[in-house]
Amino acid sequence: MTGSPNRDGANAHRASRRFLFVLLSVLGVAVAHVAQAQDEAIPAFKTIDSIEARVQGCVTCHGQSGAGTRDGYFPRIAGKPATYLYNQLVAFRDGTRRYPPMNYLVAYLPDAYLKEIAEHYARQRPPFAASEATAADPQVVARGAVLATAGDANRQIPACIACHGRGLTGMEPGIPGLAGLHPTYIAAQLTRWRVGDRHALAPDCMQRIASRLSESDIAAVAAWLSLQQTSKDASPETFDRVRMPLACGSQQ
């Protein structure tokens, strides 16, 4: 027996108070989080003649500082290497990467301006949102972890981290960070590469990798990647050709 009924009652009371406090804090954080995410998606700027004002066309999907929004699809673009972002903007403008809302927005913007926009978002380091709760089976996540961190030599699938960095923050000049992306976005992009809808500069290493992945591989990798927390310094790694397991056009 431990303690009197009275004492137990006091403990229970304290425990429930603590539970209520924790619950309220969690709710408070969640509410603050939603509010912040919504503010992030509302147009706002200080000076009209600034790059911040010029890129307001991006904020309702990608957020004020490029961290992405809570919408399940739109990717984080902050801190990705400038050359990667520039390559994507040019591809959207010229129609070699298809996503109609983006194709439409950047259709008539010149190279130099797209470069400026890319460099702006490459400089941003907004905090990462907490990982989303996943409904994925722990076994699936575990398989994703193996693929992402070790790859599968028998199928010639290199590890994600071999190019996208140990911290998943990408590599200069052309490899994007994978941290902070929604699982739906990761799965959609890998699938588009796999079926030949998305291309990168030749030699297209991602096309080679994605064509070796099964649908369940993609689901597993996306589930694991979206759970990863990232260190505070989310800068891409420097270019290091020696480690690259495949030749990639975006790194040449």
Contact residues for other proteins (CB under 8 A)?
Answer: 41-45, 48, 53-61, 71, 74, 94-96, 100-101, 103-110, 112-113, 116
Which are the contacts of 6, defined by CB distance < 8 A and separation ≥ 6?
Answer: none
Rounded least distance, CB 37 to other proteins, Å: 12
**Complex with other proteins: residue 61 or 161, whichever CB lies closer:** 61
Rounded least distance, CB 199 to other proteins, Å: 11
164 exposed, middle or buried (CB, 10 Å; 0-12, 13-18, 19+)? buried
**Complex with other proteins: residue 12 or 42, whichever CB lies closer:** 42
**Complex with other proteins: residue 94 or 137, whichever CB lies closer:** 94
Taking the C-alpha atoms of residue 120 and residue 51, their distance in angstroms, rounded to an integer, is 7
**Complex with other proteins: residue 120 or 143, whichever CB lies closer:** 120
Rounded least distance, CB 251 to other proteins, Å: 22
**Complex with other proteins: residue 78 or 225, whichever CB lies closer:** 78
Rounded least distance, CB 108 to other proteins, Å: 4
Torsion-angle region of residue 114: left (phi > 0), alpha (psi -120 to 50) or beta?
Answer: alpha
Rounded least distance, CB 248 to other proteins, Å: 20
